[in-house]
Structures are given as C-alpha cells and as structure tokens.
Structure 1
Amino acid sequence: MQSTAFSFSPSISLPKPRSRPNLSTTHRFNPLYVQSLSRSLDFSAVNGVRGSLLRRFQPIRCSSSPSSSRFDGWISTPAIVPERESDGFEVRATSWPESAGEKEKASSMAGTMQLGALFGLWYLFNIYFNIYNKQVLKVFPYPVTVTTVQFAVGTVLVMFMWMFNLYKRPKISGAQLAAILPLAVVHTLGNLFTNMSLGKVAVSFTHTIKAMEPFFSVVLSAMFLGEMPTLWVVSSLAPIVGGVALASMTEASFNWAGFWSAMASNLTNQSRNVLSKKFMVKKEDSLDNITLFSIITIMSFFLLAPVTIFMEGVKVTPSYLQSAGLNVSQVYTRSLLAALCFHAYQQVSYMILARVSPVTHSVGNCVKRVVVIVTSVLFFRSPVSPINSLGTGVALAGVFLYSRVKRIKPKPKTD
C-alpha cells in the first residue's frame, strides 16, 4: 500500500541518494576565480554595508565522468552556504550622523553656557551699578547730575561702537526719531526717579517698591492698549501690592520722597513699554532692541543735559568737589564705574531678551531683583526686620507668579 502510493510508473522510480563525485575526477571551471574560493567580495567600505551580505557562490562544476546520464553529473547546482546570523542587512551608524549628533550636542551645550554667562553678567553688572551708584549718591546728593553723567558715558560708548563698527550704525529717519522721542522722555524720567529714590532710601527698599512694576504694566496696558488682564493676572497682583505695603510699613529708611520717587519710576518705565507697543508698530520702521536703546540713550542725554544745568548747575568740576570736601578721584572713579555698569547691564539684558522668551526674561528679572536686594543688604548692612523681609519675599513671590501666569491666554469667546 505504501509502495504503490509513491510509485506512478514502473519505469520511473525515486533515485537513491548517492555520494558526491570524487573531487579528484571533477574538473572545476571558475572563470571568476580571483585568489581563493573561500574569499568573497567585501564592500564594507561602501556606505557601511558589510561584505557578508553578498552570497558566496561556489564555482560551476563540469564532470568528465561518462557513466552518469543525469544532468547533475555534468552541471551541478551551486551548493548554498548556510547563512549565518550575521548575514542579512546589518545597519551600522556611519561617522557622519555620529559627528552631527555630537556637534548638535556641543552647540546646544555651548549655547546654554553662553546664556548662563549672559545671565551672570546681567546680575553682576546690576549689583555693581547699585553699589557704586549708592556710594556716589550718599556723598554727592545730586541725582539729576548723576543721571546725566550716566547718559553721557552711555552716549560715548554708543558712538565708539558705531565709529569702529562694533555694532552696525543705523539709518534713522525723521519719522522714527519722532516716534522714539516719547520713549526717550519716559526713559529719562524713569532712570532719574530711580536715582532719586536710591539717594533717599536703601537700595533694598527701592527695589522692593520697584517690584510693583507689573501692577503699573497691567493698569497702563488696560487703559491705553485695551488689553484686559485675566483673572490669574489680577490674582497675582494681590501679593505684590500686599508685600510692598508690608515692607514699606516696616522699612527703617522709609521716607515719602524715596517712596514716591520709586513709584514714579515704576510708572514711567512701564509707560515706556506701553508706548513702545503703541508707536513702534510698523515692521519696516522697527529697530532691534540694542539699537533702539542706544538711540534712546543719546536722546536722553541731550534732553537731560540742559535740565541739569538749569536745576543743579555744573557740580562735577574738581574745584566744586574739593570745596565740598570730597575725594575727587574716588567720586569720578565710582561715577564712571556706575555708568559703565548701567549701560552694560542694559545691553546684556537686551541680548538675553533676543535669545529667550519674554516670560523667561521676566523670571530672570525677578531673580535679579532678589539677588540685588540680598547683596545690597549684606554690603551696606541695612537693618532689616523679619516682617520687612516677609513683605519683600511676598512681593517678589507675587512678581514670580505674575511672570508665570502671563503666559496663560484667555479662552476665545464662542458664540
């Protein structure tokens, strides 16, 4: 039964397996023979593909034995070499993607380090500005003159950069100057009021009051730009106002002149921001931040110089300083350093703003204010009560909260 199932014809039977022909009687015909039969072509140098992908073909055999009438005696099929686990497509990362990834990581790390260095310089210049500025204002109580000197040094620096092509000199039209003029006026007043406050109260208290800048920003934006704040923004203003009020009630150096000067500084500085949004709206007329700040600095100097002569006269001469019993070289050195640090920290601030989002810049500004307050208290040994510290901390926490909730946009109204 089993034998008939596999036998279809008596003349055709399944061949029995026989042994391979003796290699001694077999003549190999291998026209592609190079050096060795066991060697295969290796394309490992091409696109990172291993040579093992290529099959190793056995040579074609022609047998001279006449005893066999089957085709396998004359032409034998190439014996297939069993594939190893390494045969097949093996993908290897070439040097280009690895180097590209390393370059990307290196550039990212370099950018992070550069940004961190800019933040460090921003804080450092601000600290030294407040220290040197306070030292000058203590012995030379003429804030208008001090502010004019700072704008004068800034003007010289701007001219130096433009003259030696350290920064591209802009081409300003009359329409642009007319639009920048209101910004220069409020910028001048903002720095003047800040110096007036620094001359009257402690540095830490001035910066605590200046923490109320978000409050003025929200109010002015709603009044002149129609930007209504969200509930989250309004909620973040409560700790700011409460903290400043608590710190003011317990401030040892408190006086109304210093308090209202700092408040006026908040008003004018935030008016500058609102005006910059209102007037500088045409893209073709827009300027980058550093160029705009440089032009404002020059205009502020020419605006304030005649006012200084009218209000305080010329009190920066060596003869006047000597007659007032002051160390001339010391006053000049510290005034120059304060002016250089003032202009430097403003420039670095705009450089940071060009690299990060406004929210990140606002958070960094909040941290900067904390650093300035702490360092000024330690340097000048200002008396600070626990309640005063609590009020300052609450106000700064409110500023940080405000910078975070500003990114929350109101949901659009659906009909």
Structure 2
Amino acid sequence: MQSAAFALSPSPSTPVLRSRSSIPNPNPRCAILSAFPTAKPSVSPIRRGGAITGISGPLRALSPRLGGWDTAPVSFSPPKQDVAVRATSVSENADENPAKNSELVQTLLLGSLFGLWYLFNIYFNIYNKQVLKVFPNPLTITTCQFLVGTVLVLFMWATNFYKKPKITSSQLVAILPLAMVHTLGNLFTNMSLGKVSVSFTHTIKAMEPFFSVLLSAMFLGEQPSVWVLCSLAPIVGGVALASMTEASFNWAGFWSAMASNVTFQSRNVLSKKVMVKKDESLDNINLFSIITILSLFLLTPVMLFVEGVKFTPSYIQSAGLNLNQLYLRALISGLCFHAYQQVSYIILSKVSPVTHSVGNCVKRVVVIVTSVLFFRTPVSAINSIGTGIALAGVFLYSRVKKIKPKTA
C-alpha cells in the first residue's frame, strides 16, 4: 500500500504538506496513518488554488505501546509575525472632557440669553420712553407693539422657524382671560412710562412680589412662609421711601405702575387657576405668541374709540414731529418689546422659577441704572437708598420663594 502520511515542513514559512514516501523517516516509532483506520485523526488539508497549503484540525502521531497503539498530540504553532506595539498616553479625564465641554457650552448659551434679555429690555425702555415723551398716546403705542409682535409671530410660523401650534376652541376660551390681563398690564406700564421716569416706574414695579403673595393667598389659598413675609417689608418700605423723594412723581404715573403690578400678577395667578391644557405644540413660547395676537384684537377697537387714528403721517407731521425718527423708534421699541419677552420664556424653560426671578431682579437693577445714566434723571441720595432697599427686598424674596407655601 502506498503511503499517504503527511509531515510538517521545517520551513519557517507557511507549512506545506509532503508525501511520506519522499521524506526519510527519522523516527521509526511513527507509523503510516492510513494503515490504522481505527485511529483516524481529524486532519483536513487546506486547499488554495488547487494546491494544499496547510492543515486544519489537530494532528496526532501514533506510537506503539503494550496492548495497542497510543496517540500523542503533536503541537502545531502558526508562524509568528512581528507585531509592533506603540504605547500612547491617555488622559485620565478623557471621559469627563465631553461632559465638561457640554456644560461649558450650556453655560455660555444661558449667559448669552440673559445678556440678550437685559439688552432688549434696556432698548425697549429707552426707545419707548422717547416715543411716549413726544407722542403721549399709550393706547396707540401699545397697539403698535402688539402689531409688531403679531407680524413676527406669523412670520415665524409661516417660515417654520417655530412650529405652529394646534389650538382648540376650549384652549382659546381658557387663554382669552390671560390675554385680557396681559393687555392691561402692558397698557398700564406704557401709561406710567409716559408720566414718570423709567427708573421710578421700575421702582414701583418692584412691588410685584407683594401683589403676588396677596393674590395667591386670596384666590389660591396659599399661605406664605414667615421668611416670605419678612422679605416683603423692605420692598414696601423702599418703594415708599423712593416715592416720597422722586422728582418726577405724579399720581397718574404712580397708580398706573401699581395697576400694572396687579394685572401682571393676576395673569400669573389666573394661569394657575385656569390651568390651560397644553399639548406638545403649545409650549410657553407659542402660548405667549397666541396671547400677543389676541391682545392685538382686543386693544385695537379700544384704541380707535378712545384715541382715534393718530399714527398717520399727516397727523404726525401736523403735530410738528419728525416722522421718520418717530416711526423708527416705535418700530425698534416694538421689536425689543416682543424679543425680550420671548427670550424671557426661553430662559424660563431652561432654569428654575427661582433662578428666573433672581435674573428678573438683576434685570430691573440694570434697567434703572442705565435709564438714569441715559436720560440723566436727577436722583437724590434718599431716593437711591429707597430704591436699593426695595430691590434688595426683591432679591431676598426670590431666594426664600423656594420654600413651598402651605395650601389651605
């Protein structure tokens, strides 16, 4: 019988198979594999392109022993290849860096939003005061501001810059009271800005926390904590001290600012009382947009009945006013009016109400200081102290507000 045994090539390269007949047997103990069918090793040749290039499976050699043949495994090691390993240094904080970068980006974004909020509010108060000083028609000015906001909202929805919400009739009925008090709040604010200085108007508007606590206790049954009541004392005392020493004080401007406090805080309480049902498309920004449109429709007939049409070019020129300058300032004030409120809602969606309240307190300080510097408003030392005490009380209130009140 012709031998069919295979042996490994001693070559260091890929092993090849050779017939046993062509290789001298250096070990007499090795036997022909095919001659012993009872000990069949599971060896299969690997073929590439018709030629046998290797062996798959374990290869076992046979050796004689008493009572039979013993099979001993033959180790097969593939050729070793040189592998170059290069060590690289890895930062211990590699996993933390992306998180830190993300936090840094979020912080910068939030800081930019606060900066825009303050900037838009400053420009709104400056240009709005300039318009109301020469054109004392607060109904017309407020209607124009709602008109500019409505145009921006419709443009935002038409260009898909912001998704248009789906509003039901029941939601409109619930939103309508909010739009009414929102309209009155902005109207009273413009009436106060037309009568007194910007700094004094915002000093009186620092009384908002007082009316918030009062209305919440009356209509929601919320009992304020002792710390909240203590924070209201410097607010009331500071506003009273500033009012007594205000150079531009008059009762019309004072009560208009007080009325704006009542209406704006009524809007907040009413929103909790009504509990407008929102879906995914009706967020705070779209809710404010709908309120702006409704305010335009609510205020326009009142403006036409009370003040008439006084914003035409012929009327303005007949009053001896600069037409282009008045229109430009009114447009800028309308744009800033809508922009700072939109940014305020965006910030509110990113931070807690307490943080937003603190930011609003700082914003009021910035507006008061910049308006005093821009308009060169005469401010006495006692007036400054009163304003500072009131604003310190607002800041204290915003800090202790996180203590949840007890519900009756």
Fold match by TM threshold 0.5: yes
Cα deviation digits, residues 279-310 of structure 1 (max 9, x gap): 12545599311001000000000000000000
Counterpart position of 2:42: none
Cα deviation digits, residues 294-343 of structure 1 (max 9, x gap): 00000000000000000000000000000000000000000000000000
Equivalent in 121, 127, 152 of residue 147 of structure 2: 152
Cα deviation digits, residues 166-193 of structure 1 (max 9, x gap): 1110110000000000000000000000
Indicate conservation of the 8 Å contact 2:128/2:330, yes or no: yes
Aligned runs of 1:6-405 on 2, under 5 Å? 99-282=94-277, 284=279, 287-405=282-400
Counterpart position of 1:87: none
Quote how far apart the aligned CAs of 1:255 are: 0.1
Indicate conservation of the 8 Å contact 2:174/2:276, yes or no: no
Counterpart position of 1:65: none
Cα deviation digits, residues 12-49 of structure 1 (max 9, x gap): xxxxxxxxxxxxxxxxx99769679xx9x98x68xxxx
Distance in structure 2 (CA, Å) of the matches to 1:412 and 1:395 = 28
TM-score, with normalisation over the residues of structure 2?
0.78
Quote how far apart the aligned CAs of 1:387 are: 0.2
Distance in structure 2 (CA, Å) of the matches to 1:192 and 1:410 = 31
Distance in structure 1 (CA, Å) of the matches to 2:257 and 2:358 = 21
Runs of 5+ in structure 2 lacking a partner?
A: 1-73
Quote how far apart the aligned CAs of 1:93 are: 8.4
Quote how far apart the aligned CAs of 1:100 are: 4.1
Q: Percent same amino acid at aligned positions?
A: 74
Task: Assess, with a 3 A threshold, how the Cα gap between structure 1 residues 270 and 285 changes in structure 2: closer, same or farther.
Answer: farther
Task: Assess, with a 3 A threshold, how the Cα gap between structure 1 residues 337 and 215 changes in structure 2: closer, same or farther.
Answer: same
2:159 maps to amino acid: F
Distance in structure 1 (CA, Å) of the matches to 2:78 and 2:202 = 88
Secondary structure of residue in 1 paired with 2:292: helix
Distance in structure 2 (CA, Å) of the matches to 1:188 and 1:155 = 13
Quote how far apart the aligned CAs of 1:121 are: 0.3
Quote how far apart the aligned CAs of 1:98 are: 5.2
Distance in structure 2 (CA, Å) of the matches to 1:412 and 1:188 = 30
TM-score, with normalisation over the residues of structure 1?
0.77
Quote how far apart the aligned CAs of 1:411 are: 8.1
Indicate conservation of the 8 Å contact 1:280/1:286, yes or no: no
1:204 maps to amino acid: S
Q: Choose between structure 1 and 2: higher strand proportion.
A: 2
Task: Assess, with a 3 A threshold, how the Cα gap between structure 1 residues 180 and 285 changes in structure 2: closer, same or farther.
Answer: farther
Distance in structure 2 (CA, Å) of the matches to 1:403 and 1:219 = 16
Distance in structure 2 (CA, Å) of the matches to 1:315 and 1:31 = 102
Distance in structure 2 (CA, Å) of the matches to 1:321 and 1:282 = 45
Quote how far apart the aligned CAs of 1:107 are: 1.1
Distance in structure 1 (CA, Å) of the matches to 2:278 and 2:333 = 35
Runs of 5+ in structure 1 lacking a partner?
A: 1-28, 51-91
Distance in structure 2 (CA, Å) of the matches to 1:354 and 1:251 = 37
1:298 maps to amino acid: I
Quote how far apart the aligned CAs of 1:241 are: 0.2
Distance in structure 1 (CA, Å) of the matches to 2:218 and 2:258 = 18
Indicate conservation of the 8 Å contact 2:185/2:261, yes or no: yes
Cα deviation digits, residues 200-219 of structure 1 (max 9, x gap): 00000000000000000000
1:218 maps to amino acid: V
User: What RMSD, in angstroms, separates the aligned Cα atoms of the two structures?
Assistant: 2.5
Secondary structure of residue in 2 paired with 1:326: coil
